[in-house]
């Protein structure tokens, strides 16, 4: 069982709504990630936080806003999304290592934008 | 940047047979290679990984082999069971604290009872 917990599991939102996805891990990992996955495709990296600081933003539109309140929590704030943003959003975490970070994924939040 | 090719895209095997999935990578600087299993409606689950200083690693019915010279690595599943049915992704990372994984496009494995 994954030790990365995501809520909610399912979310339906309108294009004018504001909502948030939440993620929590208790493995003592200091890197946390947001990925987006469309059907029949591999996960695509969106953001990485390392030691609670944003390290990587893969040119993600500003309607997605990440937040890392502490080393165990990661949020993704959603505002004015488009139907094409409908996807599985995966949170992940890892240690910060000198070679090859072993990344553990949560079960994901299924987002539908109507 | 790194490019990872994964084959086959679909694979059907009879229960009890072996399954092999192959991946090639382009950047010789990559040194960490995880494999993920993703069941329908769930997140990817790490099943095995290998680092470039090792040629082979086994965990019960699952093994991974790495050929650094040829830049390819493979997942071997023996004595397949219906619960092995899933999509499998290989990935490569350049290590040295790299946060980025480059994924293959996935292999849908079906184990026929």
Please give, rounded to a whole number of angstroms, the shortest distance from the CA of B34 to a CA of chain A: 8
| CB pair distance less than 8 Å for A107 and B43 | yes
| CB pair distance less than 8 Å for A99 and B31 | yes
Q: How far apart are CA A40 and CA B97, in angstroms?
A: 29
pLDDT bucket at B54, cuts 50 / 70 / 90:
confident
* Interval A75-99 mean pLDDT: 93
Query: Alpha-carbon torsion A20, A25, A31, A37, what sign?
Result: negative
| CB pair distance less than 8 Å for A103 and B31 | no
Instruction: Please tell me the predicted confidence (pLDDT) of residue B111.
Output: 98
Instruction: Please tell me the predicted confidence (pLDDT) of residue B96.
Output: 62
pLDDT tens for each residue of B56-112: 999 999 999 999 999 999 999 999 999 999 999 999 998 666 788 999 999 999 999
Q: Which among A34, A47, A100 is the top mutation candidate for probing chain B, defined by the most B β-carbons within 10 Å of its own β-carbon?
A: A100
Burial state string for A31-48 with b = 16 or more CB within 10 A and e = fewer than 16: bbbbbbbeeeebbebbbb
> At residue B84, what are phi and psi to the nearest 5 degrees?
-80, -10
| CB pair distance less than 8 Å for B89 and A97 | no
pLDDT tens for each residue of A26-76: 999 999 999 999 999 999 999 999 999 999 999 999 999 999 999 999 999
Instruction: Please tell me the predicted confidence (pLDDT) of residue B70.
Output: 95
* B73 reaches A (C-beta below 8 A): no
pLDDT bucket at A112, cuts 50 / 70 / 90:
very high
- Contact residues on chain A for B101, CB-CB shorter than 8 A: 45, 103
Please give, rounded to a whole number of angstroms, the shortest distance from the CA of B16 to a CA of chain A: 25
Instruction: Please tell me the predicted confidence (pLDDT) of residue B11.
Output: 98
Q: Report the range of poorest mean pLDDT among A40-44, A96-100, B33-37.
A: A96-100
Residue A1 clears pLDDT 80, i.e. is over it: no
Beta strands in chain A (DSSP E): 4-7, 10-13, 18-25, 31-37, 44-50, 53-57, 64-70, 73-79, 87-94, 104-105, 109-113
| CB pair distance less than 8 Å for A98 and B95 | yes
Is-contact B35 B48, C-beta < 8 A? yes
CA distances from A58 to A10, B11, B27 (A): 24, 32, 20
Instruction: Please tell me the predicted confidence (pLDDT) of residue B27.
Output: 92
């Amino acid at each position: 069982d994954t030790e990365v917990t995501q809520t909610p599991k399912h979310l339906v939102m309108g294009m004018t709504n504001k909502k948030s996805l939440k993620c929590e891990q208790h493995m003592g990992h200091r890197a946390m990630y947001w990925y987006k996955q469309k059907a029949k495709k591999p996960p695509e990296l969106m953001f990485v936080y390392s030691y609670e600081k944003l390290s990587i933003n893969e040119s993600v539109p500003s309607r997605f806003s990440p937040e890392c309140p502490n080393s165990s929590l990661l949020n993704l704030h959603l505002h004015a999304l488009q139907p094409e943003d409908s996807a599985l959003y995966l949170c992940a975490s890892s240690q910060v290592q000198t070679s090859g970070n072993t990344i553990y994924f949560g079960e994901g939040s299924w987002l539908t934008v109507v | 940047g790194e490019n990872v090719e994964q084959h086959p895209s679909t694979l059907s095997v009879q229960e009890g047979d072996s399954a092999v999935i192959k991946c090639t990578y382009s950047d010789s600087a990559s040194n960490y290679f995880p494999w993920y299993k993703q069941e329908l409606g769930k997140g990817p689950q790490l099943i095995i990984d290998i680092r470039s200083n090792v040629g082979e690693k086994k965990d019960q019915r699952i093994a991974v082999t790495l050929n650094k010279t040829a830049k390819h690595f493979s997942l071997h599943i023996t004595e397949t069971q219906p619960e092995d049915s899933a999509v499998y992704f290989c990935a490569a990372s350049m290590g040295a604290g790299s946060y980025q994984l480059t994924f293959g496009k996935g292999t849908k494995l079906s184990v026929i009872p």
